[in-house]
Amino acid sequence: MTVARPCLLALAVLPATIAAWLLATAPVAAAAPVRTALAEVTGDGSWRFLVDLAELWHSRYEPTAEQLAVRPVPGAEARLRAVARGRADFAVVDARTAAERLAAYPRLTAVAVLWPNLLHAVTRNPAARELALAGETEVWVLDSAGFAYDTLAELARNDPRRQERLYRMPEDLLRDALDYSREPLLVFTAPAPVRELEELLRRDAGLRIVPVANKLVEELKLGHPWLVSENLGRGAYPGLERNLELPAVYQILVGRRDLPAPTVHKVLSTVYGRSNAMALFDPLFGQTDGRLNAVFGKLMPFHAETARRFNFTPSVP
């Protein structure tokens, strides 16, 4: 006979008030704390990365330890507000948002530099050779490349003809723009390679990825110090026969300053510790580089545990 059953039988014959007191004071297994991370939308790159991060975290640590849940919240500013108000613990935002907006949220800090979104310029127009400061080709800039639109618009401010050839478009028109645009240069940022673009390049010989002119890259970096250059290697896309150095916007994992050091340590160990193996299943993990935390530490505040692990002193408190 087990011990548990006689105890339950005994409770059944005790007065109700005593039985209730015994049950209320009995030890209860503590539920594992759950940390919440916010992505842009269900299914996008930030969502897939965080879901895979949560799976790695779950497999690596004891079930009774902290767990990670993922929730979609559209809009980088909305995600920052949610974390600052204690409604979540982490959020993925782009480097521009982190560099320009973290100062407005004293409770928040960068935790980890994730993967880069590269500036893509694609076209079916045979006359378009590059994305440049000036040209005869229309340029359609999606919202994800808003920084490029801002720079191009500023450079075209005194040239009505160039202004007429520059358009900004919602991000959800990417697929339609890739399918149907013929003459314009379509400009957007995304992790490389982009699945939709790969599929179109395989079956559409007229569609090409073109380089970004060096002078434009210089102008972009002058206005946006968080912008860096990354290599898009030959063969990364069907038909790409040379390496391209493209502007890149890194994604940043932001969290609260009061997150315990062990929690941040788990995040860093999971993001960077298994990146090579995880890259077989999620290429974004193969594009993470812990050394970049020190680079971006010159532009934005970082959690003390990140600075300790990568041995740098953030220049922004």
Cα 177 from Cα 165, distance rounded (Å):
16
Residue 58 has pLDDT above 70, yes or no: yes
The rounded percent of the chain whose pLDDT value lies above 90 is: 63
Mean per-residue pLDDT, 261-269 = 93
Residue 281 has pLDDT above 60, yes or no: yes
More confidently predicted of 113 and 315: 113
Mean per-residue pLDDT, 260-288 = 85
Q: Domain 34-115+250-309 sits in which CATH superfamily?
A: Periplasmic binding protein-like II (3.40.190.10)
CA 124 centroid distance within chain: 29
Mean per-residue pLDDT, 233-242 = 92
Computed from CA positions of residues 142, 145, 146, 148, in that sequence, does the dihedral angle turn out positive or negative?
Answer: negative
Q: What residues contact residue 156 under an 8 Å CB cut-off, 6+ apart?
A: 162, 163, 166
pLDDT for 2 equals 32
Among 290, 263, 254, CA closest to 79:
254
Residue recorded with tokens 């007229």:
206
pLDDT for 44 equals 87
pLDDT for 121 equals 95
Residue 221 has pLDDT above 80, yes or no: yes
- The encoded tokens of residue 83 equal 């974390």
Cα 95 from Cα 146, distance rounded (Å):
13
Residue 29 has pLDDT above 50, yes or no: no
Computed from CA positions of residues 83, 257, 61, 57, in that sequence, does the dihedral angle turn out positive or negative?
Answer: positive
Q: What confidence tier does 57 reach under pLDDT thresholds 50, 70, 90?
A: confident
pLDDT for 31 equals 57
Mean per-residue pLDDT, 82-104 = 96
pLDDT for 80 equals 98
Q: Which residues of 276-302 are buried (b: 16+ CB within 10 A; e: fewer)?
A: eebeeebebbebbebebbbebbebbbb
Q: What confidence tier does 180 reach under pLDDT thresholds 50, 70, 90?
A: confident
Among 148, 91, 83, 90, CA closest to 118:
148
Mean per-residue pLDDT, 116-122 = 96
Cα 149 from Cα 141, distance rounded (Å):
6
Contact (CB, 8 A) for 147 and 228: no
Q: What residues contact residue 301 under an 8 Å CB cut-off, 6+ apart?
A: 102, 108, 109, 110, 257, 314, 316, 317
Among 315, 257, 253, CA closest to 106:
257
Contact (CB, 8 A) for 147 and 212: no
pLDDT for 25 equals 46
Cα 123 from Cα 181, distance rounded (Å):
8
Domain with CATH 3.40.190.10 in the chain: 34-115+250-309, 118-248
pLDDT for 274 equals 64
Strand ranges, E, within 158-266: 166-169, 185-190, 208-209, 228-232, 244-256
pLDDT for 98 equals 96
> Helical H runs in 228-274?
261-273
More confidently predicted of 121 and 12: 121
Q: What residues contact residue 37 under an 8 Å CB cut-off, 6+ apart?
A: 50, 53, 54, 68, 69, 70, 71, 88, 89, 90, 91, 92, 253
Residue recorded with tokens 């935390």:
293
β-sheet bridge partners, residue 121: 187
User: Looking at domain 118-248, which CATH architecture does it have?
Assistant: 3-Layer(aba) Sandwich (3.40)
pLDDT for 3 equals 32
Mean per-residue pLDDT, 201-230 = 93
More confidently predicted of 7 and 94: 94
Least confident among 117-131, 136-150, 278-292: 278-292
Mean pLDDT computed over every residue of the chain = 86
Residue 188 has pLDDT above 60, yes or no: yes
Residue 21 has pLDDT above 80, yes or no: no
pLDDT for 64 equals 60
According to DSSP, the β-strands at 67-72 and 34-39 are parallel
Cα 310 from Cα 317, distance rounded (Å):
16
Residue 89 has pLDDT above 80, yes or no: yes
Q: What confidence tier does 60 reach under pLDDT thresholds 50, 70, 90?
A: confident
Residue 266: CB atoms within 10 A of its CB come to 21
Q: What pTM was estimated for this model as a whole?
A: 0.84
Longest dimension (CA), the chain: 91
